[in-house]
Amino acid sequence: MDRYAVIGNPIKQSLSPVIHTAFAQQTGQQLEYGKLFAEVDGFKDVVDAFFAAGAKGLNITAPFKLDAFEYADTLSERARTAGAVNTLALQGDGRLLGDNTDGPGLVSDIRNHLGWSIKGKKLLVLGAGGATRGTLLPLLKEQPALLHIANRTAAKAEQLADDFSAHGSLTASGLEDIPAGFDLIINASAAGLSGERPQIAEVVVGQGGCAYDMVYGAEPTPFMRWAADLGAQTADGLGMLVGQAAEAFYLWRGVRPQVEPVLEMLRGELRKKLAATAK
């Protein structure tokens, strides 16, 4: 049976085995999917052994996406522009393709699941780290009217905008200098990971705007609550997680699974955990 896994440090919290097992059952694919732990400096040895044992593919989570970028034999365009790899796929010629499915997962969730428009809209991305870098090319391919990157350190946002200038028109600033009135705001900042929200002005949220937080949980994030109070539609990043997994599954198996049933299953599990902790 074909073997796949996700590698990370830590890795216990990963939902990837649940997601990919559900995809396999849904599509009638025979496969095994597990978790791999590696020490911070041990990525290569663990992955060498995994593929030497006949594995077909691997998902990569923190802190190894740069290690996977270096490890891959060949890169997709989106992985090359992102400078990071979250999926390795064994090819027929024995080479390992490195891909980055984070951006497609995000775009698919926003456009197909939430039904929000990106094309022709004013788009703001908060943060200038790896999460932003991994999603810029797919977002630009949706042809927004404007894509503005804002970061606590303005120079990092400006550098990122310059790096991607060949793929579309981007502007950049610090958090205190963001223009007003965006149709869609995506929070990819480190603030979300620590349970905080980026400190941005209320005028940034446009009339009838949408706000998307890449992190997820059983309850709305601080960023989502703030945006909702300003009248925005909001969503968290659980759909992005399932969407990027679906893209990886398609890359490996040539079959595109349905995201919605798996997303609803995970959302239900989060609600159960929340109810259990409230008792």
Known binding residues for shikimate: 14-16, 61, 86, 102, 216, 244
- Name the DSSP letter for residue 113: I
Residue positions forming the annotated binding site: 14-16, 61, 77, 86, 102, 127-131, 151-156, 214, 216, 237, 244
Type of residue found at 276 = A
Q: For residue 50, which phi and psi values (nearest 5 degrees)?
A: -65, -50
d(CA 117, CA 184): 8
- Name the DSSP letter for residue 253: H
d(CA 70, CA 240): 24
Whether omega before 10 lies within 30 degrees of 0, making that bond cis, reads yes
d(CA 4, CA 2): 7
Cα-trace Rg, the chain: 19
d(CA 147, CA 152): 17
d(CA 161, CA 128): 9
56 noted as active-site residue: no
Burial of 199 (0-12, 13-18, 19+ CB in 10 A): exposed
CB atoms within 10 A of CB 52: 8
Catalytic residue among 12, 35, 65, 273: 65
Instruction: Give catalytic residue positions.
Output: 65
